[in-house]
Structure 1
Amino acid sequence: LARIKAWDLRGKEEELLKQLDDLKVALSQLRIAKVTGSAASKLSKIRLIRKSVVQVLTAINQTQKKTKTKPKTLRKFCKGRKYKPLDLSSENTRAIAKLLARYVLILKYRKKKKKNHCLH
């Protein structure tokens, strides 16, 4: 298995998912071989296949970003995801971004008020 080149992947869009599945299957087989105590030549392929999986995933993400260049469509696409792309994150200062949500601040204020009331 030779190393996958990024420029090879850019032209193919439909084949990428199939290739990703094949690579993941191969990786799982190699991991099983690692546990069973197989030859060292198989173990050295694990790193190569992991890198290939990353390259395929990168190519998939790049093509998705290219097709969904407008921020509105990209927002819709990434709505249910755990992580948001950096180009969609709000452009606030670090302090503003880390501020607590308004409802949490109100709760904290109420708690403090109750505590002070008990002390006096």
Structure 2
Amino acid sequence: MVSFTFSVISSIVKAHELRNISKAELMKQLSDLKQELSALRVNQASSATAPKLARISVVRKSIARVLTVIQQQQRSEMKAFYAGKKYKPLDIRPKKTRAIRRRMTKSEINKKTERQRKKAAHFPKANFVVLA
């Protein structure tokens, strides 16, 4: 029982290790894990031992980790590509809330018409001092 636990722990894929691997190697590792999962599923159908069946969940989680790292890398590449661009894909834009996204920008708020500018220039705010 102890040796089984050790064998499972040694084969768990760690996300921080995957981030240092190139995309081609990640894809290769993903295909290897998928092949291993299909082999385990065949063993499951042919009534294999319990340790091999327990490994299915470990392999599935490893596949999920690899896919997650691939997705994170793609998103970071997209963010870098669209960094200085005027228009960005919706999933790269900041989410915030619907109200905040529709709010006017600072420049839009501060814009004034010609008439407003003239009125502000000719009639400045009067400051009165109250003598008590």
TM interval, short-chain normalised: 0.5 to 0.7
Aligned match of 1:5: 14
Q: Does 1:38 align with 2:51?
A: no
- Runs of 4+ aligned residues of structure 1 deviating over 3 Å after TM superposition are 71-75, 84-89
Aligned match of 1:56: 66
Structure with higher helix content: 1
Measure, in 2, the Cα distance between the counterparts of 1:31 and 1:59: 25
TM-score normalised by length of structure 2: 0.55
Q: Which amino acid aligns with 2:57?
A: R
Question: Contact (CA 8 Å) 1:68, 1:74: kept in 2 or not?
Answer: no
Q: CA RMSD for the aligned pairs? A: 2.7
Answer with 1 or 2: which has the greater Rg: 2
Measure, in 2, the Cα distance between the counterparts of 1:10 and 1:49: 18
Where structure 1 has 5 or more consecutive residues not aligned to the other structure, the ranges are 76-83, 94-120
Measure, in 2, the Cα distance between the counterparts of 1:16 and 1:74: 27
TM-score normalised by length of structure 1: 0.60
Moved more, 48-57 or 65-74: 65-74
Please give the secondary structure, in 2, of the residue aligned with 1:11.
coil
Aligned length: 85
CA separation of 1:44 and 1:5: change in aligned 2, threshold 3 A: same
* % same residue: 36
